[in-house]
Each structure stands twice: as structure tokens, then as C-alpha cells.
Amino acid sequence: MSLFEFNDYNELTDGEIELILREKQQAPPGEGYVPQYHFDVRITGKTEPIGTIRLRVGDTERVVKYAGNIGYEIDEEYRGRRFAAKACNLLKRVALDHGMKTCWITCRPDNLSSRRTCEIIGATFVEIVDIPEDYDMYQRGNKRMCRFRWDIGSS
């Protein structure tokens, strides 16, 4: 099996926030895992992260139905300023560079902020799914996930 070829991203910014590449991770052993990029989200000109965002590059059942291609978290004191939506829009370039036309985003049904972020970026709610009991996500307490489809096209 060949290793996934990662790209370098030195400047992902909209002038207000920036994504700083923290780590590139090859897919760990196990069915359905894919390579991923892990970025810190920072306010432009500041050094401390205000959150994180990941892009999982691949379309396995685990990713598409349960984990999502994109996962984000913004520190509590910075929430409500649409930083997660802005980070998703910056991450779109990375997904397009890898030939992705659609990104799946999942969140717990009670995570209204994340659901709102999906609406802001134009993702479409698809369904709520039950996570299989043998998945690590289930073992960590996540029993169900909302699925959103974000068609990013080619622009």
C-alpha cells in the first residue's frame, strides 16, 4: 500500500482567521480510516490557536456516514463569531486540491452550533444515523450523528 501524498499549505487565510498546518496523518491501520490534515485555527496576527479543524481525505463508509470529512472545534470564548464556518471555507481549497467535490460533516444531534455552522456554509442536512456499536465513536459515547452534505464543486 502506497503512502498518501500530502500537500503543503503555508497560507490559508481570509484576513480575519488563518489555518496553520499542525500535522499530516497517514491513515492508521483499520478499516475505513483515511489520511487527514490537522490545522490550528488562529486569529490573523495572533499566535495562540482558538480552535482546530481537520480534513479527512477519503470517502469510506466510516467517513461519509459517521466521522465526516471535516471536523472542527472552536474554543468556547470564541464561539458565536462564525469562525468554524470561516475555517470550513478556508479548508475548502485543501479538499479541492485533492479532487474532492463533496465533503461530509457530521455532528451530534444536540450540537446546535455545529448544525448552524453547516447551514451557514450551505451544507444540506441529509439524515440522522445510528453509529454501529463496534465503532470507536460509539464507545466514546456518540450514539447518533447528523449527516450534512457540502457540495464544494470545483471553484
Does this model's pTM top 0.75? My answer is yes
Tens-digit pLDDT profile for residues 40-99: 999 999 999 999 999 999 999 999 999 999 999 999 999 999 999 999 999 999 999 999
**pLDDT value at residue 96:** 97
Mind listing the domains of the chain with CATH numbers?
12-151 (3.40.630.30)
**For residues 58 and 73, what is the distance between their CA atoms, to the nearest angstrom?**
21
- Report yes or no: 147 and 129 within 8 Å, Cβ to Cβ: yes
- Spatial CA neighbour of 125 closest among 141, 102, 143, 149: 149
Average pLDDT, the chain: 94
Specify the residue for cell string 464507545.
139
Percent of the chain residues topping a pLDDT of 70? 98
